[in-house]
Structure 1
Amino acid sequence: MNAEHYDAVIVGAGFAGIGAAIQLKRMGYENFVILDREDDLGGTWYVNHYPGLAVDVPTTTYSYFFEPNPNWSRLFSTGAEIKQYADDVADKYDVRRHMRFSTVVEGARWDEEAQAWHVALAGGETLDARYLITATGFLSQPRMPDIPGITSFDGRVIHTTAWDDSYDPAGDRIAVIGTGATAVQLIPELAKKAADLTVYQRTPIWVAPKLDVRISERTKRLFARMNWTQRIVRAITDTIYEMMINIGVVHYRVPLFRRLNISAMDLCKINQFIQIRDKELRRRLTPDYDIGCKRPTFSNSYFRTFTKPHVHLQSDGIDHVTADGIVNADGTKTVIDTLVLATGFDLWEANFPAIEVIGRNGRNLGKWWRENRFQAYQGVSIPYFPNYLSLASPYAFLGLNFFNTMEYQMRLMDRLFGELKRRGATTFEVTEQANTAYLDRMTELLGDSLWTLGNCASSRSYYFNPHGEPSLLRPMSTRTAIKEAAAFPVSDYEIS
């Protein structure tokens, strides 16, 4: 059976894959396919639909800059609205017709003789493509906790990435394992109906007040008629978030900026004090690491939930799980009906890369990363991997907003593919020299950041790879990253 041939294969139909597809179409490419293992588009915003799901970045900022949406109902919109935005963008830019759902990609291998990628699908089918783009996202591989006896539990087990919409928590005795950003949204919702709720916390999280507001119909009409008004609001929210990451985290070495970081922690403590007066409970819910070491979150109800008589915080640890409950580290037992796993995602072991990618001379990307440090030029390119862009790579994630990441990556694609067309070329590969210089520069910039200078040892943050390096994040401002993406030296790539 002959393989199908494409100019490009994009793996992943979330916002990164949609953005890459839009950029390809802008550059005149139409013969491409987007593959996704799910049965619909949207990535993490399709997979996740647990109660309370909402974006924790203002949606004026959490959206494509070139596609403002006047229909947001709130400043921090719900997951359902974000999913609808993904649908609307895909339809408007005519990329849905390029998508193939329920398609599992097992791996990709570069064929030096054919100058093409062979993409292997589950079931034995193979696709050939000149260019390969993996847009698998950072939050795509659920982490399952390794707790003795967890498979012996006879009750209902739900991971937040596979929420059962038919489940009614009313009257249930529920245990939630995890207190990350997902749990902060979910726990107050479960507490409304549960008969008894026990929250198992390994690491506390910094929670700031959420300055959420409803967007009126009048304002929506204004945004639709004069979109520059919405861009003004975006400029404000963009600036606030840029200040948060650049002043409080990236330039942590500056004494004044370090003081502002401390002020942010004080704000979170005030938020906690307003909701909880029990001093011991506040102590157990207060992190001992600096804010920014792991992703902080926002809520006006999370702390208050723990003051309810039927909600219990268990922070001493789990010994093992039994058929009907959890035996705590202190020997006590909590009998439950439902176990909810809010245990997040496996970024480094299962996601870098999310599929097996074999480049030139048989180089295995996952093996090479683990043996030679996690690295990627401009957060997208790796030596020995021609015609390949990895949009979820080391040093790719920019600030607190994934759309900032996508914006600079689309600019890079425009410059890189534009150079290919200008030269009449078909192949690109970043040079080892450029990649090494970029890695050295990222390492130097991280030396001034909170992630290197701050107290992050106890944070258990997914920002840090297994070797302890904070190589997920790009330590620079959005403006700098976009400028670099549009003006990097084309000599950093071998183009032929």
Structure 2
Amino acid sequence: MNTDRLDAVIVGAGFGGMGAAIQLNRLGYDDIVILDREDDLGGTWHVNRYPGLTVDVPSTTYSYWFEPNPYWSRLYAPGAELKQYADHVAEKYGLRRYMRFNTTVDGARWDEDSQTWLVSLSGGETLRTRFLILATGYLCQPKTPDIPGIEDFGGTVLHAQEWDDAYSLEGKKAAIIGTGSTGVQLIPKLAEDVDELTVYQRTPIWVMPKFDVAFGPAAQRLFARFPVTQRLLRMSSDLFMDLMVTIAMWKFRQFRPVNSAAARIGALHRFLAIRDKGLRRKLTPNYDFGCKRPTLSNTYYRTFTKPHVHLETAGIERIEPDGIVGRDGTKRVIDTLVLATGFDVWESNLPAIPVIGREGRDLGKWWRENRFQAYEGMTVPLFPNMLTQASPYAWVGMSWFDTVEYQMRHMNRLLGELQRRGAETFEVTEEANARFLDRMLTLLDDSVFHLGDCVNSRSYWFNSSGEAPLFRPTSIRQAVKEQDRFPLSDYAIA
């Protein structure tokens, strides 16, 4: 065991973990370790490299407010530029010196005697730290579908999150399982290369038109020389995204017509791309807009009108060594299987590692037995000096950066109070946590999750109990303001 006490251990070297490290530095903490199981930083933007990868939130909004990037090539930047942005942030703020890659965390346990966290690594090492910050993200545990015969497939299997750039799709007969956000980006690219493509769809997704523009050299020079111009653009994209999410999802009771209008835009987008009524019907969601993460594309629907692209919606009976057999008996012979089946958010990711707090409380077990909950989406009773970013009621807006930055404000106020008092520990009280949970549940009563028709959405936003505790059902503006106003008495500080 390393007997030296660190200031903080951060689990995860994505944008969340980097934001937490930047905030700790601002507060004067420098003895920090950032652990990541991958071989480089960037989180999902390092792991994901599949063809067609882009952001589905305007790049002006999908970035740190305090670190604007004037060099985005487009309003919706390709994934490689997000990885470059992550590298830039790490370099500018000196974060690589804290990072340890290819390091798997087995678990963490609060040690009452020393008032520290003991973080166990897979190699046998144990780190002792004052603060523990879980920054593993919501989408970090890829999910393989439980389909009979999938292990016996004799061709090539490509996982969207483990893409093999060396593998050529040219001339292949391919199938893809999954039509979520990843599938919507990937399917048009696959169709450009393969001889035949079969898309297996379980649940249609709401696909909206993508109003994308390129930022040429002149625009980039303007943004770099006069940052206020990009700030104004960001304010516009921030306001639009926040307003749409708040009105269409959280204020569904009061603004149901706005939600319906969004659905009509999606329907018109589908109609203009596909004239075949039968095909269009198969691609039409049978749940309300907002129940499942929508996405943007101007090419997805048109791809299905190509003669070598086939849509299967009957479901999969089994996978054989040379193809896929549908529940309707149809068999498609393929040589390449692409899996775009998303992530396991609930069973193995909340939390992503075993965490044991005071009195032996197991965080994962406690969440599953007592509802998913976290005060301000960050702290949990009986888990002193622990902050968790991808947690219940944390995700605000549609840009992960909005969540990270409101949490940085919370860290600033909470840890600043610790320093002011010369205290060693903080722990949210049971009463404050219960009050916050009750408020979130009350706000959700007005949401599309409770009042809309979400039965057929099969959305990862819902857990096995039918609850939707990932999102903080408020506007971004409200979430940010509350970090400057939450009662410090909500914490036991000692």
Band the TM-score falls in, shorter-chain normalisation: over 0.9
Partner of 2:150: 150
With normalisation by structure 2, the TM-score equals: 0.99
SS in 2 for 1:130: strand
Partner of 2:368: 370
Partner of 2:324: 326
1:313 corresponds, among 311, 314, 338, to: 311
Partner of 1:409: 407
Partner AA of 2:442 in structure 1: E
Shift of 1:63: 0.3
Does the 8 Å CA contact 1:107/1:120 hold for their aligned counterparts?
Answer: yes
Q: 1: CA distance between counterparts of 2:193 and 2:60? A: 32
Partner AA of 1:175 in structure 2: A
Partner of 1:355: 353
Partner AA of 1:457 in structure 2: V
Does the 8 Å CA contact 2:159/2:339 hold for their aligned counterparts?
Answer: yes
Shift of 1:162: 0.4
Partner AA of 1:366 in structure 2: G
Partner of 2:117: 117
Render the CA deviation track for 1:222-254: whole Å, top value 9, x for unaligned.
111111110000010011101110111110111
Shift of 1:269: 1.0
SS in 2 for 1:175: strand
1:483 corresponds, among 473, 481, 484, to: 481
1:432 corresponds, among 405, 408, 430, to: 430
Does the 8 Å CA contact 1:252/1:258 hold for their aligned counterparts?
Answer: yes
Shift of 1:424: 0.3
Shift of 1:407: 1.0
Render the CA deviation track for 1:468-490: whole Å, top value 9, x for unaligned.
11100000000110111122100
Q: 2: CA distance between counterparts of 1:297 and 1:52? A: 13
Q: 2: CA distance between counterparts of 1:418 and 1:2? A: 27
Does the 8 Å CA contact 2:7/2:29 hold for their aligned counterparts?
Answer: yes
Partner of 2:383: 385
Q: 2: CA distance between counterparts of 1:290 and 1:355? A: 34
Shift of 1:331: 0.9
Between stretches 2-11 and 392-401, larger displacement belongs to: 2-11
Q: 2: CA distance between counterparts of 1:163 and 1:283? A: 31
SS in 2 for 1:229: helix
SS in 2 for 1:89: helix
Partner of 1:191: 191
Partner of 1:128: 128
Identity of aligned residues (%): 63
Partner of 1:62: 62
Q: 2: CA distance between counterparts of 1:165 and 1:135? A: 28
Q: Which runs of 5+ in 2 are unaligned?
A: none
Render the CA deviation track for 1:164-199: whole Å, top value 9, x for unaligned.
011111000001000000000000000001010000
Does the 8 Å CA contact 1:465/1:472 hold for their aligned counterparts?
Answer: no
Partner of 2:226: 226
Q: 2: CA distance between counterparts of 1:425 and 1:30? A: 18
SS in 2 for 1:349: coil
Q: 2: CA distance between counterparts of 1:399 and 1:315? A: 31
1:341 corresponds, among 339, 346, 350, to: 339
Alignment partner of 1:462 is 2:460: yes
Alignment partner of 1:472 is 2:470: yes
SS in 1 for 2:198: strand
Partner AA of 2:305 in structure 1: T
Partner AA of 1:197 in structure 2: L
Does the 8 Å CA contact 1:4/1:126 hold for their aligned counterparts?
Answer: no
Does the 8 Å CA contact 1:374/1:394 hold for their aligned counterparts?
Answer: yes
Q: 1: CA distance between counterparts of 2:213 and 2:361? A: 50
Does the 8 Å CA contact 2:137/2:389 hold for their aligned counterparts?
Answer: yes
Shift of 1:46: 0.3
2:440 corresponds, among 425, 431, 442, to: 442
Partner of 2:210: 210
Shift of 1:2: 3.9
Partner AA of 2:230 in structure 1: Q
Partner of 1:302: 300
SS in 2 for 1:7: strand
SS in 1 for 2:410: helix
Does the 8 Å CA contact 1:3/1:125 hold for their aligned counterparts?
Answer: no
Render the CA deviation track for 1:105-155: whole Å, top value 9, x for unaligned.
000000001000000000100000000000000110001100011101011
Shift of 1:4: 4.3
Q: 2: CA distance between counterparts of 1:364 and 1:168? A: 46
Q: 1: CA distance between counterparts of 2:270 and 2:241? A: 22
Partner of 1:23: 23
Q: 1: CA distance between counterparts of 2:167 and 2:267? A: 34
Q: 1: CA distance between counterparts of 2:5 and 2:379? A: 23
With normalisation by structure 1, the TM-score equals: 0.99
Render the CA deviation track for 1:200-234: whole Å, top value 9, x for unaligned.
00000000000000002111111111111100000
Q: 2: CA distance between counterparts of 1:151 and 1:486? A: 52
SS in 2 for 1:119: strand
Does the 8 Å CA contact 1:248/1:258 hold for their aligned counterparts?
Answer: yes
Does the 8 Å CA contact 2:381/2:427 hold for their aligned counterparts?
Answer: yes
Q: 1: CA distance between counterparts of 2:2 and 2:240? A: 53
Partner of 2:173: 173
Question: Runs ≥4 in structure 1, deviation > 4 angstroms?
Answer: none
2:286 corresponds, among 264, 285, 288, to: 288
Render the CA deviation track for 1:255-282: whole Å, top value 9, x for unaligned.
xx21111111111111111111000100
Does the 8 Å CA contact 1:180/1:344 hold for their aligned counterparts?
Answer: yes
Between stretches 460-469 and 37-46, larger displacement belongs to: 460-469
Alignment partner of 1:93 is 2:97: no
Distance 1:197 1:4, change over 3 A: farther
Shift of 1:3: 3.7
SS in 2 for 1:192: helix
Does the 8 Å CA contact 1:398/1:475 hold for their aligned counterparts?
Answer: yes
Partner AA of 2:364 in structure 1: G
Does the 8 Å CA contact 2:2/2:128 hold for their aligned counterparts?
Answer: no
Q: 2: CA distance between counterparts of 1:486 and 1:212? A: 35
Partner AA of 2:6 in structure 1: Y
Partner AA of 1:94 in structure 2: G
Shift of 1:430: 0.2
Partner AA of 2:359 in structure 1: N
Aligned ranges 1:18-57 → 2 under 5 Å = 18-57=18-57
